[in-house]
Homo-oligomer: A and B are copies of this chain.
Amino acid sequence: MMTSREQEVVELIELLFFAYRDFVSDPDEILRDYGFGRAHHRIVHFVGRNPGIRVAELLDILRITKQSLGRVLKDLIESGHVEQREGDSDRRHRLLFLTEKGESLRRKLVGPQIERFSAALKASGPGSTGAYRDVLLHLVNPEDRKEVEARISRNLAMPVLD
């Protein structure tokens, strides 16, 4: 059997599924025009948000194998959306950057997602942003929480250039 408290939680579980389902649907459509998939999107997104990220870091974010990453990353390098540079301090490192072309794609993909989110936050009560943040952050594995928190807010400190 199931307590009504558990029933309530299961509703939230399903809501996460439905929200995620629709949330990724906008980029999916755009990506088709480029012959890219969701895997490409993730790379474009996280490289764009973390310029100079190392391959190993990207693997840790995505939680996939280097072989899986390699195949898709190769597409993006060959198409001129991503470029690699040697690390300064450690020349084994391959630092990843978006080209202008890549940055343009990133913005195109994130646009509808920002719109959808802004509308959702507007439609929800004030303070909903904080609560959303609290809950979602605590869904992340405890041992990863600090890193995730640092990663998502990293760019706030960056000067906003034009």
Interface residues of A (CB under 8 A from B): 1-2, 4-23, 25, 42, 45, 49, 63, 110, 113-114, 116-121, 123-125, 127-141, 144, 148, 151-153, 155-156, 160-162
Contacts and interface: CB of A to CB of B under 8 A. Distances in A.
A124 B118 contact: no
Residues of A contacting B: mostly: helix
B132 A132 contact: yes
B131 A12 contact: no
Given A15-B148, A19-B137, A25-B141, 12 more contacts: A1-B162, A5-B118, A10-B114, A10-B152, A11-B152, A12-B117, A12-B129, A14-B45, A14-B152, A18-B144, A18-B152, A123-B134
A124 B117 contact: no
Contacts of A131: 124-125, 127-128, 130-132, 135
A8 B117 CA distance: 10
20 contacts: A1-B161, A1-B162, A6-B114, A7-B155, A10-B49, A11-B153, A12-B121, A12-B136, A13-B114, A14-B45, A15-B133, A18-B152, A19-B140, A121-B138, A123-B134, A123-B138, A124-B135, A128-B134, A131-B131, A131-B132
